[in-house]
Amino acid sequence: MQTLIINIKELLQVRETSINKVSGSDMAVLPTIKNAFLLIKDETIAAFGSMEDCPKLNPDNTIDAKGKIVLPSWCDSHTHIVYAGNREQEFVDRINGLSYEEIANRGGGILNSAKRLNEATEAEIYDQSKKRLEEVIQLGTGAIEIKSGYGLTVEGELKMLRVIKKLAQDYPVAIKSTFLGAHAFPMEYKENHSAYLDLIINEMLPKIVEENLADYIDAFLETGYFSVAETERIMEAGKHYGLPAKIHVNQFTAINGIEACVKHKALSVDHLEIVTDADIEALKNSETMPVALPSCSFFISIPYTPARQMMNAGLPLALATDFNPGTTPSGNMNFVVATACIKMKMTPEEAINAATINGAYAMGLSATHGSITVGKKANLIITKPLHSFYEIPYAFGSNPIEQVWLNGKAIQ
């Protein structure tokens, strides 16, 4: 099956040879071809270039993309879209002046979601979660990481991870699964952290590995949640079972967690709303991808990740949604890219690099996703007619997408 897209106004993120990520000043460079063609064969990208060089073909399908931008689908490397119910009351509580910590201390936050999750059946959770997944696909996401972490019990975590596995089987989007049992301490373990860590490591992990339910392991490394030492225990256990770490860190405080994550070769460190010079030094020359979650900062009014400071230091940066019921009830990567430009002062080129190639790296998908490269999955966004790709972040409240393609097939 061959599809030829012709007369593309501008084809973005073209890479003749596959690269893993872009860093520092290279993030400002987004390779593009104007007046381009793109050839899809079966599920993959077969060729691309200028219309002047378009081969004479007799494809099964031809699409005229005159006036339209084509780019790789978004790679959202940090979400919590498998959950039960919502936390809209906490949204109102924050408007009325309560902080994240105050809401959590009243039994809200993660523990609120855990209660709802454990009361719901696996089928109910699947039905709610698939709607969210379908929505983000329509918004251009072609690869997504989904975390557990709202079970906080053996059965609850397994239930979530089984739902993630079923979603991966039922939908064409690339899905990576992350075990986040270390999301918060259940009430019964508030004074006995070691016992809950034992439960994660000795009971949850072996069952998760036995059923092949996770690709990565995570922890909420933060003051009042999991300490550096406790998170290191989680990362070590993950390594033992072949699960690399992707860690929540520096959302509210900096407690030398990033240095520990780099030491343990974490694939990514996510949030980073608070970043010190020491944190930046720790990340230099590492294989760990920093991931910013600007729509979380937007929604709960906390600082934004200091993108410019990090890129000026030569670091890479990825962007993701953090789609979850409490602090970011949105999986719209178009809004994430726009917010990164508006609030973090990233250029459109930098933001698109962060949301495609670097997002793919942050979930181990660099070889197959994140750029227009021959042999990679034909996961694409075809926009509506636009003046330029700058209009994607500029018109932040509009949906720029006309079609989404996954694995060489149009899904809308």
Express each pLDDT in 168-190 by its tens digit: 999 999 999 999 999 999 999 99
Three-class SS state of 90: helix
Three-class SS state of 245: strand
Rg of the chain on CA atoms, in Å: 21
Query: Which pLDDT band, with edges at 50, 70 and 90, does 412 fall under?
Result: low
Looking at per-residue pLDDT, the higher value among 52 and 101 belongs to 52
Alpha carbon distances (Å) from 351 to 223, 317, 321, 340:
29, 9, 13, 6
What whole-number distance in Å separates Cα of residue 119 and Cα of residue 277? 44
Question: Are residues 352 and 337 in contact, defined by beta-carbon separation less than 8 angstroms?
Answer: yes
For residues 253-266, give the mean pLDDT.
97
Question: Are residues 329 and 356 in contact, defined by beta-carbon separation less than 8 angstroms?
Answer: no
39 strand-pairing partners: 4, 47
Please, what is the angle between helix 110-119 and helix 154-170, to 10°?
80
% of residues, the chain, pLDDT over 90? 90
220 strand-pairing partners: 248
Nearest to 284 by CA among 248, 322, 258: 258
Alpha carbon distances (Å) from 280 to 262, 266, 315:
11, 15, 8
Give the DSSP H/E element, type plus range, for residue 259: helix 257-263
Q: Report the first-to-last Cα separation within the chain, whole angstroms.
A: 18
% of residues, the chain, pLDDT over 70? 100
Express each pLDDT in 309-368 by its tens digit: 999 999 999 999 999 999 999 999 999 999 999 999 999 999 999 999 999 999 999 999
Question: Are residues 10 and 34 in contact, defined by beta-carbon separation less than 8 angstroms?
Answer: yes
Structure tokens at 224: 């009042």
Alpha carbon distances (Å) from 160 to 81, 118, 337:
10, 10, 28
Within 10 Å of residue 277's Cβ, how many Cβ atoms? 9
Please, what is the angle between helix 122-138 and helix 154-170, to 10°?
40
Express each pLDDT in 121-170 by its tens digit: 999 999 999 999 999 999 999 999 999 999 999 999 999 999 999 999 99
Express each pLDDT in 65-111 by its tens digit: 999 999 999 999 999 999 998 888 888 988 998 887 888 877 778 88
What whole-number distance in Å separates Cα of residue 281 and Cα of residue 317? 15
At residue 27's C-alpha, the angle toward residues 316 and 392, to 5°, is 115
Question: Are residues 222 and 253 in contact, defined by beta-carbon separation less than 8 angstroms?
Answer: yes
Structure tokens at 241: 């079972």
Express each pLDDT in 27-50 by its tens digit: 999 999 999 999 999 999 999 999
Alpha carbon distances (Å) from 75 to 58, 371, 385, 398:
32, 10, 23, 20
What whole-number distance in Å separates Cα of residue 81 and Cα of residue 171? 14
Structure tokens at 330: 């949105």
Strand ranges in 160-287 using DSSP code E only, listed in sequence order: 174-182, 216-221, 246-249, 268-271
Q: Measured in whole angstroms, how far is the alpha carbon of residue 386 from the centre of its chain?
A: 26
Strand 380-385 with 68-72, pairing: antiparallel
Structure tokens at 374: 């021959």
Q: Is the pTM of this model over 0.85?
A: yes
